[in-house]
Chains A and B, each alone.
Chain A
Amino acid sequence: MKLIKFFAFIFIGLGVLSCAEDNDDATPFVPTNVTTPMTSVDFKLSNDFDGTLVDNTNFTTLTLTNENGEVLRAERIRYLISKLELTSVETGTVYKLKDYNLLDISDETTYNFTSDIQIPLGNYKLSMVWGFNEEDNVDGVYVDLNAASWGWPQGLGGGYHFLQFDGKYNVDTASPMPFNFHNGTAKNAAGEFEQNFVTFAFDTDILIAGNTEIELKMNIAELFRNPNTWDLNVLDTPLMPNYTAQKMMQQNVASVFSIGTISNN
């Protein structure tokens, strides 16, 4: 009898322990009862150039004029965002919704993605990272990004591209010129590698009420404007090994994203 009690004690103890362990894992423990229903969250990325929608149907044909006055045409736009997290306004709990998403403007299926986890309904704030932060920007570890030829050269610090924007400028003249606006880890004059990601923490309160879709807007024109007015005639290609250009891009990226429509239906 004593023995049985002893065993029961151990079993209960084990049960408690394993629950406690779960709490430590990626997603914090949340009581799932009727009063806190859970939901996944959809994201939709929409890209524009000062209000002109840019997507797979028109990105190679649109002529766009940047802040400095160059007329340009895009041929490839791909960019990576990572660490999409929602922080509960009520409890401060952080939910990791998606590790990363590589958007390819030529492939509309990459504009949309759904969170990997479900979260309780409530009010949240959104944060994310442009590219990968230092911890996540590990050379060669993401097989899908490897196959997408998204790697950043090891001679420049390795890891992955954050942005690949290729096109031609001065397309309104007889001699259009190519540009390769690529962003990733920066290599400084001393040959050291400097992280070049940008963290976005949006102020907007986001109500997650079920079937929520968050629209994230990217204004491509901001890449050439704020705070650095970009002169493609000077900085067109090659820019990857150009430390100054990489740091200017990092500054300009800081204003490209905003939160668009949030729908709950």
Chain B
Amino acid sequence: MKYWFIILSLSILVVSCSKDENETSEDAYEPIPFALQIPEVFQQKLPSPLIPVSNPLTNEGVALGKKLFFDRILSANNSLACVSCHAPQKAFSDDRVLSLGVNGQPGSRHSMPLFNLAWNLDEKFFWDGHKFSLELQALEPVTQANELGNISWEDVEEKLQNHPEYPNLFNRAFGTATITKELVVKAIAQFERTLISGNSKFDQFTLGQVSLSPQEQNGLDVFMDETRGDCFHCHGNPNNPLWTDNKFHNNGLDATFSDLGLGGVTGDSNDDGKFKSPSLRNLQYTAPYMHDGRFATLDEVIDHYSEGLVNSPTIDPLMKKVDQGGVQLSAQDRADLKAFLLTLSDPEFVNNPAFQNQ
């Protein structure tokens, strides 16, 4: 046993020595830094994206993360991958009300779209914010019974280790062919940070390249008007092109809560029924809506805010005239609001070849 250790450490020494001496050997491969393209609107309006120093983006890491994201090898019975519930054509969400896991059973929440995650500056992920950082987030679906359904991460590590390609790909990305769950989630997080959506019609409008129709312009006014939509306090504004505050609110869906949301995480009943404000980018591709996928269309969502608000102790004070169900937007304002919301969708993002499986 002792000898084994000595041999191992010696060989590590040799390997690391050879690294220094022979730059062309495979062990010495230095991954190439990934050139992240930041949309012009983000460069103008937003702080830099969050890239942890412990996990810088590299071409090899991003490519490996992408391969893993699309690979069913991560699921217990090789039937599902991340992409099964996060499809590129759906802005990396799922059109099912509740996503189905490996066992064919639905989970308890609707899938979330994935984009601009490196600008979630609070780094609280999921509808209820229960995971801090993208790396930690990616640990979870692999062993969730209702998602990829593995009993343990060791099984996945072993499958990857015995795969003909993965050990070499990990070696090129991270300088070691020993595959661990930590490296798996690092690679996936690198790929996820490249999922940037910043070329919607509205982005082009901000850059002065196109103009809005009168209907879309009025929709923006409704969105920004405290007496009408007042959406901007939670869902961003032209100077916050993330179109979310990444904070948690109760937007008046229910009187009582079967899913406590943030309250289930903090244990504070003042947080019951609060969920993360989703970004309003790419709504064209992300139906159905809300944490439980209850609304099939944008019209239903707008009707909810306009006349369907339900009171509860934790309802956000930004929800007005709750006793009347809302501010009763006119039919014109509703139609215009919808037209504006659709200008936030980014066809280039959902069709980006870099994000498709090939």
| Chain A contact residues, CB within 8 Å of chain B | 60-61, 75-76, 139-140, 143-144, 146-149, 151, 153-155, 164, 166-168, 175, 178-180, 182, 237-241
Contact = CB atoms under 8 A, between A and B. Distances in A.
B226 A147 contact: no
B46 A179 contact: no
Interface string B22-66: 000000000000000000000011110000000000000000000
Given A61-B270, A238-B227, A238-B230, A151 B237 contact: yes
B234 interface: yes
Interface in B299-341: 316-320, 322-323
Nearest to B242: A147
Contacts of A139: 239
**What are the 10 A-B residue pairs with the smallest beta carbon separation, nearest first?**
A178-B317, A238-B226, A140-B239, A166-B317, A153-B224, A149-B245, A240-B226, A146-B239, A151-B239, A143-B47
B73 to A, nearest CB: 37
B121 interface: yes
Interface in B205-264: 221, 224-227, 230, 232-234, 236-240, 242, 245
Given A149-B233, A179-B317, A155 B225 contact: yes
A238 B242 CA distance: 25
A34 to B, nearest CB: 39
8 contacts: A143-B46, A143-B47, A149-B240, A151-B238, A151-B239, A153-B232, A154-B224, A238-B230
Contacts of B238: 140, 151, 154
A140 B45 contact: yes
Contact of A149 (B232, B320, B322): B232
A114 to B, nearest CB: 20
Contacts of B121: 147
A155 B227 contact: no
B288 to A, nearest CB: 25
B125 interface: no
B320 A237 contact: yes
Given A178-B316, A178-B319, A180-B317, 15 more contacts: A75-B316, A140-B44, A146-B45, A146-B240, A147-B242, A149-B245, A151-B238, A153-B224, A153-B237, A154-B238, A164-B233, A180-B318, A182-B226, A238-B320, A241-B225
A60 B316 CA distance: 12
User: Counting chain B CB atoms within 10 Å of each CB, which of A75, A175, A179 scores highest?
Assistant: A75
B119 interface: yes
Contacts of B317: 75-76, 166-168, 178-180, 237
A46 B236 CA distance: 29
Secondary structure of the A contact surface, majority rule: mixed
A180 B47 contact: no
A179 B323 CA distance: 14
Contacts of B270: 60-61
B278 to A, nearest CB: 14
Interface of B: 44-47, 119, 121, 221, 224-227, 230, 232-234, 236-240, 242, 245, 270, 316-320, 322-323
Nearest to A153: B224
Contacts of A140: 44-45, 238-239
A147 B119 contact: yes
Contacts of A239: 226
A139 B47 CA distance: 16
A149 B241 CA distance: 10
A154 B230 CA distance: 13
Contacts of A153: 224-226, 232, 237
A241 B227 contact: yes
Nearest to A76: B317
Nearest to A238: B226
A143 B242 CA distance: 12
User: Counting chain B CB atoms within 10 Å of each CB, which of A75, A149, A164, A178 scores highest?
Assistant: A149
A18 to B, nearest CB: 32
Nearest to A171: B313
A113 B270 CA distance: 29
B224 A146 contact: no
Nearest to B233: A149
User: Counting chain B CB atoms within 10 Å of each CB, which of A61, A76, A146 scores highest?
Assistant: A146
B38 to A, nearest CB: 12
Nearest to A140: B239
User: Counting chain A CB atoms within 10 Å of each CB, which of B238, B245, B323 scores highest?
Assistant: B238
Contacts of A76: 317
A238 B321 CA distance: 11
B285 to A, nearest CB: 23
Contact of A178 (B44, B221, B226, B318): B318
Nearest to B234: A149
Contacts of B224: 153-155
Contacts of A61: 270
A178 B225 contact: no
B219 to A, nearest CB: 13
B320 A146 contact: no
A63 to B, nearest CB: 13
A147 B47 contact: yes
Contacts of B323: 175
Given A139-B239, A149-B234, A151-B239, A237 B226 contact: yes
